[in-house]
């Protein structure tokens, strides 16, 4: 009787192991076929844009750059005037403050341009039914290039 139980235990263990392996193989097959189907289905729903080109060509960018250049020139004048009587440590601290102020000013001037470009990208992507838009520099192959359409939307043509 004891001998029969050991055989049954081995048989049940073997059956469980086989079922486990079949389950793993089935899961792997189902996941890989799902991901291939998802890739082939979504390949036409991926857009690419040259984001840097769109930013640089935005009509507001030239004005932002001019304003920023004027800010830098003014900051240089202020620094030269105020730092003339400062010691090295004070100059370093003041220079850091000026740099921080210029960085904040640059963000203040350029962020609206980024937001406008991103809004135009979203509008074109939505109109074309694209679910993902990536920067062209990050894409090796594939995707629908919508840079020209976004450029037209930004310029109002």
Confidence of residue 32 (pLDDT cuts 50, 70, 90): low
Q: Measured at the alpha carbon of residue 142, what is the angle toward residues 40 and 59, in degrees to the nearest 5?
A: 130
Q: Evaluate if residue 19 carries a pLDDT over 70.
A: no
Nearest residue to 80 via CA among 66, 98, 54, 107: 98
How far is the CA of 117 from the CAs of 35, 135, 136, 153, in angstroms?
32, 12, 15, 9
Domain count, the chain: 1
Q: What percent of the chain has pLDDT over 70?
A: 72
In tens, the pLDDT along 135-144 reads: 888 888 888 8
Strand segments (E) across the chain: 46-49, 132-135, 144-145
DSSP state at residue 44: G
Contact between 111 and 96 under an 8 Å Cβ cutoff? The reply is: no
Radius of gyration for the alpha carbons in the chain, expressed in angstroms and rounded: 31
In this predicted structure, what is the pLDDT of residue 11? 65
Residue with the bigger pLDDT between 157 and 114: it is 114
Q: What's 27's domain CATH number?
A: 3.30.910.20
In tens, the pLDDT along 79-112 reads: 888 877 878 888 888 888 888 888 888 888 888 9
Q: Measured at the alpha carbon of residue 72, what is the angle toward residues 69 and 76, in degrees to the nearest 5?
A: 140
Range of the domain at 132: 2-155
72 sits in which H/E element: helix 59-83
């Amino acid at each position: 009787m004891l001998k029969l139980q050991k055989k049954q235990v081995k048989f049940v263990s073997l059956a469980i192991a086989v079922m486990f392996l079949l389950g793993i193989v089935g899961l792997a097959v189902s996941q890989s076929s799902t991901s291939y189907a998802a890739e082939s289905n979504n390949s036409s729903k991926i857009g690419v844009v040259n984001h840097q080109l769109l930013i640089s060509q935005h009509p507001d960018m030239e004005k932002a750059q001019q304003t920023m250049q004027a800010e830098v020139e003014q900051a240089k004048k202020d620094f030269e005037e105020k730092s003339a009587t400062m010691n090295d440590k004070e100059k370093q601290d003041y220079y850091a403050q000026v740099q921080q102020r210029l960085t904040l000013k640059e963000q203040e001037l350029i962020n609206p341009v980024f937001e406008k470009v991103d809004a135009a990208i979203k509008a074109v992507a939505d109109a074309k039914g694209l679910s993902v838009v990536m920067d062209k520099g990050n894409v090796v192959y594939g995707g629908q290039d919508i840079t020209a359409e976004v450029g037209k939307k930004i310029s109002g043509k």
